Amino acid sequence: MTLPILPTSVVGSYSMPGWLERLKTEYFARRISRHDLEEIHDNAVKAAIKDQEAAGVDVITDGEMRRDNMMDYFLERLAGVQIDRSSKKFYYDFYNSSVEGKLPMVPLGLATDFRFLKSFTEREAKFCVTGPHALTKRIHNEFYPSEEALATDLARALNLELKELVKAGARIIQIDEPYYSGFPDDLDWAVKVLNTLVEGVDAKMVVHICYGNRYGKPSWEGSYRYLFPRILDAKVHQLTLEFARRGGEDLDLFREFKPPFELGVGVIDVKTQAVETPDMVADRVRKALEFVPAERVTVLPDCGCFHLPRDIAFAKLSAMVEGTRLVRKELGC
Amino acid sequence: MILQMNHLPRKTSAASAEDVVATLQSLLEEGHLEPEQFANLYVHLDWIQYRHNFREAVTVVPIADEKTGRIPLFEVHVDLRQAAPSCLRTEMLKAMTPANPGFGQHPAENDEGMPLEEFGPFRRSIVWRFNHLYWQRLAEWEGSTGHGYEEALPGGRSDANHPQAVADGVADFWTLARDLEIKKQLPPELFVLEIGVGMGTRAGLWLDRFQKLDRERGTNYYARVRFLLGDYSPATLERSKAAVAGHREQCSFVVMDALNPMQTLSFLRHKVLHIHMTNVYDNLPDEELARRDGRLFLVEARAYLPAAEAERIATEFEVPGRDLRRCIERLLDEGPGHFGDRARGVEFWRQVWAAMRLKERMVCVDDLPAEALPGELNLNRLEEALREAPSDLRFHVNSGAMESFRNTLPLLSTRGYLQVQDIFVTRWSEYRLRYHGPGKLDGSVVNWVNGALLRETAERTGFDVHFAPFRYREGSHTSILFTTQRE
Q: Where residue A304 sits, what CATH number does that domain have? A: 3.20.20.210
Answer whether B391 touches A (CB < 8 Å).
Answer: no
Chain B interface test: which of A19, A21, A30, A217 (most B C-beta within 10 Å) = A217
Pick the CATH number of B152-285+382-485 from 3.60.15.10, 3.40.50.720, 3.40.50.150, 1.10.10.10: 3.40.50.150
Answer whether B407 touches A (CB < 8 Å).
Answer: no
Determine the pLDDT at residue A267.
98
Structural domains of chain A, count: 1
Determine the pLDDT at residue B16.
81
Q: Does residue A44 lie in a domain region? A: yes
Is B270–A217 a contact, with Cβ atoms under 8 angstroms apart?
Answer: yes
Answer whether B388 touches A (CB < 8 Å).
Answer: no
**Cα–Cα distance, A274 to A313 (Å, whole number):** 10
What residues of A are in contact with residue B414 (Cβ under 8 Å)? 212, 217-221
Q: Does residue A6 lie in a domain region? A: no
Crossing angle of helices B399-408 and B451-459, rounded to 10°: 40
Is B486–A215 a contact, with Cβ atoms under 8 angstroms apart?
Answer: yes
CB within 8 A of A330, min separation 6: which ones? A286
B257 close to B232: Cβ distance less than 8 angstroms: yes
Answer whether B460 touches A (CB < 8 Å).
Answer: yes
Q: Does residue A297 lie in a domain region? A: yes
pTM to 2 decimals?
Answer: 0.88
Chain A interface test: which of B270, B414, B456 (most A C-beta within 10 Å) = B414
Q: Does residue A229 lie in a domain region? A: yes
Determine the pLDDT at residue A32.
93
**Cα–Cα distance, A250 to A284 (Å, whole number):** 13
Q: What are phi and psi of B85, to 5 degrees?
A: -55, -35
Answer whether A181 touches B (CB < 8 Å).
Answer: no
Answer whether B215 touches A (CB < 8 Å).
Answer: no
Q: Which residue of B has its CA nearest to A246?
A: B270
CA of A187, closest CA in chain B: separation in Å? 16
Determine the pLDDT at residue B68.
60
Nearest to B234 by CA among B192, B278, B197: B197
Q: Does residue A279 lie in a domain region? A: yes
Determine the pLDDT at residue B473.
86
Could you give the angle at the alpha carbon of A291 between the alpha carbons of A287 and A294, nearest 5°?
Answer: 80
Provide the domain limits for residue A117: 18-69+112-128+171-330
Determine the pLDDT at residue B105.
43
pLDDT of A1 strictly over 70: no
Q: Does residue A276 lie in a domain region? A: yes
Could you give the angle at the alpha carbon of B28 between the alpha carbons of B27 and B33, nearest 5°?
Answer: 90
Out of A25, A219, A272, closest to residue B414 by CB: A219
Helix (H, G, I), strand (E, B) or coil at B44: strand
Q: Where are the domains of chain B?
A: 1-111, 152-285+382-485
Q: Find residue A129's DSSP bridge partners.
A: A175
Write the pLDDT tens digit of every residue in A207-262. Answer: 999 999 999 999 998 899 999 999 999 999 999 999 999 999 999 999 999 999 99
Cα B108 to Cα B95, B112, B117, B308, B355: the distances in Å are 12, 10, 22, 11, 19
**Cα–Cα distance, A241 to A264 (Å, whole number):** 6
Answer whether B187 touches A (CB < 8 Å).
Answer: yes
Could you write out the DSSP letters of every residue in B56-100? Answer: -SEEEEEEE-TTS-SS-EEEEEEETTT--HHHHHHHHHHHHTTT-
Q: Find residue A238's DSSP bridge partners.
A: A206, A262
Answer whether A24 touches B (CB < 8 Å).
Answer: no
The complex scores an ipTM of: 0.84
Answer whether A19 touches B (CB < 8 Å).
Answer: no
CB within 8 A of A149, min separation 6: which ones? none
**Cα–Cα distance, A136 to A1 (Å, whole number):** 35
Nearest to B354 by CA among B312, B326, B319: B312
Is A221–B487 a contact, with Cβ atoms under 8 angstroms apart?
Answer: no
Determine the pLDDT at residue B371.
77
DSSP summary character for residue B460: T
Could you write out the DSSP letters of every residue in B195-243? Answer: ES-TTSHHHHHHHHHHHHHHHHHT---GGGEEEEEEES-HHHHHHHGGG
CA of A78, closest CA in chain B: separation in Å? 21
Nearest to B447 by CA among B305, B285, B304: B285
What residues of A are in contact with residue B269 (Cβ under 8 Å)? 272
**Cα–Cα distance, B1 to B25 (Å, whole number):** 11
Of the candidate ranges A88-92, A145-149, A261-265, the one whose mean pLDDT is the lowest = A88-92
Is A220–B487 a contact, with Cβ atoms under 8 angstroms apart?
Answer: no
CA of B459, closest CA in chain A: separation in Å? 9
> How many Cβ pairs within 8 Å bridge chains A and B?
33
Is B380–A22 a contact, with Cβ atoms under 8 angstroms apart?
Answer: yes
Is A221–B184 a contact, with Cβ atoms under 8 angstroms apart?
Answer: no
Q: Which residue of A has its CA nearest to B267?
A: A272
Determine the pLDDT at residue B103.
46
Write the pLDDT tens digit of every residue in A280-302. Answer: 999 999 999 999 999 999 999 99
**Cα–Cα distance, A270 to A316 (Å, whole number):** 9
User: pLDDT 10s per residue in chain B (487 long)?
Assistant: 888 888 766 666 666 888 888 999 998 998 888 888 888 889 989 888 888 999 998 999 998 766 665 667 889 999 988 888 888 888 888 888 766 655 444 334 445 689 999 999 999 999 999 999 998 898 899 999 988 877 777 777 778 889 999 999 999 999 999 999 998 889 999 999 999 998 899 999 999 999 999 999 999 999 999 999 999 888 889 989 999 999 999 999 999 999 999 999 999 999 999 999 999 999 999 999 999 888 899 999 999 999 999 999 999 999 998 899 999 999 999 999 988 899 999 999 999 999 999 999 999 988 888 777 777 777 877 888 888 898 889 999 999 999 999 999 999 998 999 999 999 999 999 998 889 989 999 999 999 999 999 998 898 889 999 999 999 888 888 999 999 988 8
Is A218–B414 a contact, with Cβ atoms under 8 angstroms apart?
Answer: yes
B88 close to B102: Cβ distance less than 8 angstroms: no
Q: Is A63 left (phi over 0), alpha (psi -120 to 50) or beta?
A: left
Determine the pLDDT at residue B106.
39
Is B270–A215 a contact, with Cβ atoms under 8 angstroms apart?
Answer: no
Sequence-ordered strand ranges (E) for B113-156: 114-115, 120-121
Out of A90, A212, A222, closest to residue B185 by CB: A222
CB within 8 A of A171, min separation 6: which ones? A124, A203, A204
Q: Does residue A148 lie in a domain region? A: no
In the chain, the amino acid numbered B193 is L
Q: Does residue A179 lie in a domain region? A: yes
